[in-house]
Structure formats: C-alpha cells, structure tokens
C-alpha cells in the first residue's frame, strides 16, 4: 500500500524514524544523498518516502540494526555521508565491503551487539568485486562450484535444518533439552514439561505415541524425534512472510526466554537480526513495524516471546532479497516460509541472489490458519475480533469486542490490492467464493491518478476530509428525493462519480472529495459483493480483513453500515485487529508444522 517514488539506485538507506532506540544514531550510518539528508535524518515518518526523490525503498532493512553503528556498504557505490548524526559515519570497505563489519560498540539503546567480523564473513560470498575471502570452517562456496557436503553449514535452507545434526544450524549452540513442540499462549517456561494443546492447530502438537506394532525402523525414527524435541523446533530466526501485490507482510517471533547461555552462543548474525528488528520500528524508507499490533508474551513452538508485525512495499522486495544475500542470511539455515503471489514470483530471486529456498505456501490456507490462531491467542489479553454497534447510527456507532470462539461458517473477505471472498466452514474446509479486482490497489491507484497523492496514508487522510456527495450522483439528485418503491433513500449513491459527467461540477470539486468518493465507491462495492455472497452461501457473519482496512475507519464503518442496512440487520460485519497480517502468521505457523512433520 505504500507508495514508492524513484528507487533510482541511490544508496539512500536512511533509517529515519524518530524515537526508535537507535534513532538519529542509526540514521547516521546510512548513506544519504546530500539532498535527502534533512528529511532522512530529521525523523520523518519512515513509511512514506513521499517527496523524497531517488529513495531506495527497502534499503537496508537489516543493515542498520544488525550492524549497529556500522554499515555494510556496497563497494564503490557507497559514497555516503552521515545523514543526521554528528559522528563520523563514513566507512569504506573497498575490498570486501559487503561482508565486513567494523567491530564497534553500538550506541544508544540498541543493546550490546557484538559484531565479530569472522561471524559475518562466513557463508555466501559472491560475485565480482564484492566477493570476500571465504571464512574458515565454512564451505568455500565462493570459490567452489560444488558444495562439500549436503549438510554443510552453507547448504541452502531447503535441505532442512532439522536434518542437520544439532549444532549451529538453528542459530544456537546446543541448548539444553527442549520441551516438545508446542505452540500456545500462556506462561510457558523454558522447560515446560506438559505441552499445552492448542485446539486450532493440532498439527503443531506433538506426534502421538507410536503404535506398538510399528516397524523397528519407524520406531527408531520416531524415538529419535521424540527424544530430542529441539530437533523438531525450527532454527531461529522465525519468520513468516506474505508477499502480496502491493505490500509484503512479515511476522517475526522474538524469543524472550533466551538464557544467558543461549545469548552467549547466539551467532552474531542472528543476534543482530533480532536486535535490529526489535529495536527499530522503521526499516529503511518504507519498512514499518506495527508496534501497536505486537503480540507480547506469546508461546510459540515452546518458546516464549513477542510476535512482531512488519510491512514494506512489494516493490522493495528486490532490495530485501539483495540484503538477504549481503547479510548472508542463508548461513542461518532458517526456512523462509512465504505465501502470497510474491512467494512464487520472487522464489527464483531468493534462490539465485540470496541462496535462500523459500517454502511456498498457499495464501488462503495461511490466511485462515493465521486468522484462527491470532484470534485464539487474543490481542494481549483483549479480544482480536470486534464489530460496530449501531452501525446505522453515526452517533451511537461504536467499536465493540466480539467473541469469535465459534466462527463457522463465516464469510471471509480479504481486502488487499484485490479482494478474495472465502466461505469458511471449518478450519480446513473452505472455498473461495469469488473475488473482485476492485480493492485496495484500485483505491490507491485511482487516488494517485486523481489527486496526485502518493501513499495510502495520504490518500486516506484526504479522504477523511472530503465529501463524496459532491462527486457522486445521489438518488435524490435524480429523483428529487427517496425512491420509495424500492426503499432507496435519497442520500444513497445512485451513480459513483456520476456528477463528474458535468464539466461545471468537475471544476468545482476538491481532491479531498475525489479521494473520499474513491474510498466510498470501492468500499461500497466490496460490501455489495460480500453481501451477495453471504446471501448465496447462506452465511450471516462476514469477517473483513486485509490491509485496505488499515487505519481506515471510514471503510470499516461503511461496511458495517452496509451489511446491517441492506440485510435489515441479518448480516454482521466483523473486523480483526491484525487485519492484514494473517497470511504472514499462517506462514509462520507452517514453519512449525513443517519442522514438526519431518
């Protein structure tokens, strides 16, 4: 949903959200074009790069945080200077800049990040001038076309972390024996003896005990798995990714139960990822962490921690992959579970550029599993789901919690760039009913064309101020009042943008009016299609999710109104706090399931 401008190759990595722990310090590490410095370093909101020409959208998502006060340059291109800070920030690494980190103490609140060079030098060494010498102990993959061993640390993620014997491959040195795999919420200690059952995700529960008559070999295999729970736990870092047409949604599980020992042994690369992601709320120009959505004190797969929600525009995907390559992400042997169309589109790039094998997942499966999971764990003690009471009365209309304990059947309307509508009958019985191409992408696309705005936020801000009735032709504009025979109120929209047929009216409306009309048009249309589907499928609960609803109270209330009004109170519109992130959560859940299945 985020509008990007330019991306013309500049290394403008300003990590520029004010108020993050690294704040100005962080920005200082970035290479900003001289002209951009003021904005970049000045704490402008990180999500937009409006007005900043030549910004590189997802520049340095990890760079800044991972390396602390260092920066991973890009060889000769990197001719930056400090953007906001006062200290010396220019570092050049002409020989192997991509891999080298100055061993430097970080400043500010980001904690102590040790960045021993050799930790970061391992792994993927690549092409041309940026290639660095192979790290000792790691497969020299830069120089050798063949890998030395299938399970060598340099092997791609896809060769399965669980199959690797222990050490290092999950990012940690051998930890103490772990409890069996569970994925639950609650006060789970580091050594939970009894796994908590999670009704929604039985596949994440431990395997049942083996039947006695199984073959010895099978028993043996199973025993091995049961013996060592930790083997069934995926290596850190834990990511789930949903690469949509407009936005990439990323969830990251930050373990908070790391023992001192673990901390000690956590590889630097991993640690720096953790520190970077958790200590910032904005990454590059366009990456954003939705701090308010963070799920705290969550137990997933036996570990306790926080689930972070991050998004960035899909057009920054290549930068992200590039960075994965530069950060040698593949050395962590994590499995990158990804869903959304981009999982397919970028699969090849992940493999070729970053040596990462994506585990591709069906997006509708992920959406539903993620939604059910998040709803089941709740939103930090509050309910995840809500509705609007008195939706037809603007004065009395207010948000109220809704208990989605028994959610079936539900009509699930996922509004991203486009819209998918699913009828869900149980956690794994659902069908895609229909979809429409008039979605969030249409709203933003039309708004950009009509008003010259550049971001979703900007478009919504304009819409909030506008009056669509100047743009739309209402029933009363045609009939002079209500069209009583069919119960159409005079204030109902008869023709979206209908007034714009007249030149005088075109000349008299504001951009805000246009933005509002666009928003109302798209929203009402989705509502109308959803309502028809609900009728056809005989379902009376309609759950609206997707990033089109992000910070979009206008649409939510319109949908709540439309469902209630047109169905004479029969249909209920429901909303969820983590509106756009369920696909990514579902992808993360698949990571556990996948590991467990092995």
Partner 1 sequence: MAECGASGSGSSGDSLDKSITLPPDEIFRNLENAKRFAIDIGGSLTKLAYYSTVQHKVAKVRSFDHSGKDTERDHEPPYEISVQEEITARLHFIKFENTYIEACLDFIKDHLVNTETKVIQATGGGAYKFKDLIEEKLRLKVDKEDVMTCLIKGCNFVLKNIPHEAFVYQKDSDPEFRFQTNHPHIFPYLLVNIGSGVSIVKVETEDRFEWVGGSSIGGGTFWGLGALLTKTKKFDELLHLASRGQHSNVDMLVRDVYGGAHQTLGLSGNLIASSFGKSATADQEFSKEDMAKSLLHMISNDIGQLACLHARLHSLDRVYFGGFFIRGHPVTMRTITYSINFFSKGEVQALFLRHEGYLGAIGAFLKGAEQDNPNQYSWGENYAGSSGLMSTSPELGPAQRARSGTFDLLEMDRLERPLVNLPLLLDPPSYVPDTVDLTDDALARKYWLTCFEEALDGVVKRAVASQPDSVDAAERAEKFRQKYWNKLQTLRQQPFAYGTLTVRSLLDTREHCLNEFNFPDPYSKVKQRENGVALRCFPGVVRSLDTLGWEERQLALVKGLLAGNVFDWGAKAVSDVLESDPYFGFEEAKRKLQERPWLVDSYSEWLQRLKGPPHKCALIFADNSGIDIILGVFPFVRELLLRGTEVILACNSGPALNDVTHGESLIVAERIAGMDPVVHRLDKGLAALVRERGADLVVIEGMGRAVHTNYHAALCCESLKLAVIKNAWLAERLGGRLFSVIFKYEVPAE
> Active-site residue numbers?
363
Q: Are strands 238-243 and 247-255 parallel, antiparallel or unpaired?
A: antiparallel
**Minimum distance, C-beta of residue 486 to partner 1, in the bound complex (Å):** 4
| DSSP secondary structure string for all residues of 106-119 | --GGG------HHH
**Distance separating alpha carbons of residues 14 and 28, to the nearest angstrom:** 8
**Distance separating alpha carbons of residues 100 and 102, to the nearest angstrom:** 7
For partner 1, the closer CB: 396 or 449: 449
For partner 1, the closer CB: 351 or 399: 351
The reply on whether position 439 binds partner 1 by CB under 8 A is yes
Cβ neighbours of 187 (radius 10 Å) = 8
For partner 1, the closer CB: 168 or 532: 532
Q: What is the DSSP letter of 354?
A: H
Site string for partner 1, 533-562 (x = CB under 8 A): x-xx--------------------------
**Minimum distance, C-beta of residue 459 to partner 1, in the bound complex (Å):** 9
CB-count burial class (<10 Å; 0-12, 13-18, 19+) for 184: buried
Q: What is the DSSP letter of 379?
A: B
Contacting residues for 233 by C-beta, under 8 A, at least 6 apart: 170, 178, 181, 301, 302, 303, 592, 595
For partner 1, the closer CB: 159 or 525: 525
For partner 1, the closer CB: 325 or 420: 420
**Minimum distance, C-beta of residue 315 to partner 1, in the bound complex (Å):** 6
The reply on whether position 241 binds partner 1 by CB under 8 A is no
Structure-block tokens of residue 171: 């990012």
The reply on whether position 3 binds partner 1 by CB under 8 A is yes
Instruction: Provide the Cα torsion 505, 511, 516, 519; round to 10°.
Output: 110
For partner 1, the closer CB: 15 or 450: 450
| DSSP secondary structure string for all residues of 40-58 | HHTT--SS--TT-TT--TT
Of 494, 551, 567, 594, the one binding partner 1 (CB under 8 A) is 494
Site string for partner 1, 445-474 (x = CB under 8 A): xxxxxx---x----------------xxx-
Stretch that binds partner 1, among 37-45, 243-251, 274-282, 365-373 (CB under 8 A): 243-251
* 411 touches 421 (CB < 8 A): yes
**Distance separating alpha carbons of residues 158 and 248, to the nearest angstrom:** 21
Stretch that binds partner 1, among 39-47, 186-194, 225-233, 341-349 (CB under 8 A): 341-349
As a whole number of angstroms, the longest Cα–Cα distance in the chain is 85
The reply on whether position 418 binds partner 1 by CB under 8 A is yes
**Minimum distance, C-beta of residue 478 to partner 1, in the bound complex (Å):** 3
Instruction: Pick out residues in 298-327 that bind partner 1 (CB under 8 A).
Output: 313-315
Of 338, 368, 444, 543, the one binding partner 1 (CB under 8 A) is 444
For partner 1, the closer CB: 479 or 597: 479
The reply on whether position 503 binds partner 1 by CB under 8 A is yes
325 — alpha (psi -120 to 50), left (phi > 0) or beta? alpha
Instruction: Pick out residues in 93-152 that bind partner 1 (CB under 8 A).
Output: none
Does residue 545 have a cis peptide bond before it, meaning omega lies within 30 degrees of 0? no
- Residue 363 CA, chain-centre distance (Å), reads 13
Quick one: CA dihedral 484, 489, 493, 499, positive or negative? positive
Instruction: Provide the Cα torsion 279, 18, 108, 14; round to 10°.
Output: 80
Of 81, 140, 257, 347, the one binding partner 1 (CB under 8 A) is 347
**Minimum distance, C-beta of residue 57 to partner 1, in the bound complex (Å):** 10
Structure-block tokens of residue 445: 């696309």
Of 99, 155, 164, 529, the one binding partner 1 (CB under 8 A) is 529
The reply on whether position 499 binds partner 1 by CB under 8 A is yes
Which residues form the interface with partner 1 (CB under 8 A)? Answer: 1, 3-6, 244-246, 313-315, 340-342, 344-348, 416-418, 434, 436-442, 444-450, 454, 471-473, 478-480, 485-486, 488, 492-501, 503, 506, 514, 521, 524-525, 528-529, 532-533, 535-536
């Amino acid at each position: 949903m985020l509008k990007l401008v330019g991306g013309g190759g500049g290394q403008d990595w300003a990590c520029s959200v004010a108020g993050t722990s690294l704040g100005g310090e962080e920005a200082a590490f970035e290479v900003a074009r001289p002209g951009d410095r003021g904005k970049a370093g000045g704490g402008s909101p990180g999500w937009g790069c409006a007005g900043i020409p030549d910004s590189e959208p997802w520049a340095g998502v990890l760079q800044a945080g991972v390396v602390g006060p260092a920066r991973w340059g890009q060889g000769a291109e990197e001719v930056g200077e400090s953007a906001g800070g006062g200290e010396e920030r220019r570092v050049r690494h002409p020989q192997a800049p991509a891999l080298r980190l100055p061993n430097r103490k970080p400043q500010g609140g980001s904690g102590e990040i040790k960045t021993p060079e050799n930790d970061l030098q391992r792994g993927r060494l690549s092409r041309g001038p940026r290639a660095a010498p192979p790290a000792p102990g790691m497969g020299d993959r830069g120089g050798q076309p063949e890998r030395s061993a299938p399970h060598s640390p340099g092997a791609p993620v896809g060769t399965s972390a669980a199959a690797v014997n222990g050490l290092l491959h999950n990012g940690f040195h051998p930890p103490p024996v772990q409890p069996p795999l569970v994925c639950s919420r609650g006060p789970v200690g580091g050594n939970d003896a009894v796994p908590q059952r999670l009704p929604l995700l039985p596949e994440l529960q431990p395997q049942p005990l083996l039947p006695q008559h199984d073959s010895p070999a099978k028993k043996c295999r199973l025993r091995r798995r049961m013996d060592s729970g930790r083997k069934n736990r995926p290596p850190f870092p834990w990511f789930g990714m949903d690469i949509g047409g407009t936005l990439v949604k990323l969830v990251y599980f930050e373990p908070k139960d790391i023992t001192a020992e673990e901390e000690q042994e956590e590889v630097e690369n991993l640690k720096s990822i953790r520190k970077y992601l958790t200590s910032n709320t904005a990454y590059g120009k366009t990456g954003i962490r939705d701090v308010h959505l963070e799920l705290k004190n969550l137990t997933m797969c036996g570990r306790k921690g926080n689930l972070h929600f991050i998004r960035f525009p899909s057009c920054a995907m290549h930068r992200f992959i590039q960075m994965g390559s530069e950060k040698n992400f593949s050395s962590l042997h994590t499995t990158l579970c990804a869903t959304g169309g981009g999982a397919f589109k970028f699969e090849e790039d992940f493999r070729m550029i970053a040596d990462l094998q994506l585990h591709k997942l069906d997006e509708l499966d992920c959406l539903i599993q993620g939604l059910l999971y998040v709803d089941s764990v709740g939103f930090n003690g509050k309910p995840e789901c809500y509705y609007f009471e008195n939706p037809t009365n603007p004065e009395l209309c207010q948000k109220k919690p809704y208990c989605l304990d028994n959610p079936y059947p539900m009509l699930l309307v996922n509004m991203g760039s486009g819209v998918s509508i699913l009828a869900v009958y149980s956690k794994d019985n659902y069908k895609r009913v229909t979809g429409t191409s008039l979605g969030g992408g249409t709203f933003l696309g039309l708004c950009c064309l009509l008003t010259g705005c550049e971001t979703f936020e900007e478009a919504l801000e304009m819409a909030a101020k506008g009056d669509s009735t100047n743009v739309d032709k209402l029933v009363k504009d045609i009939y002079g009042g209500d069209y009583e025979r069919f119960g159409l109120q005079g204030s109902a929209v008869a023709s979206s943008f209908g007034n714009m047929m007249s030149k005088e009216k075109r000349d008299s409306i504001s951009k805000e009016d246009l933005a509002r009309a666009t928003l109302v048009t798209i929203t009402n249309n989705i509502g109308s299609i959803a309502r028809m589907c609900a009728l056809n499928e005989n379902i009376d609960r309609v759950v609206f999710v997707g990033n089109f609803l992000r910070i979009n109270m206008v649409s939510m209330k319109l949908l709540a109104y439309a469902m209630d009004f047109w169905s004479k109170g029969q249909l209920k519109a429901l909303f969820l706090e983590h509106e756009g992130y369920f696909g990514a959560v579902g992808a993360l859940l698949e990571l556990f399931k996948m590991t467990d299945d092995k």
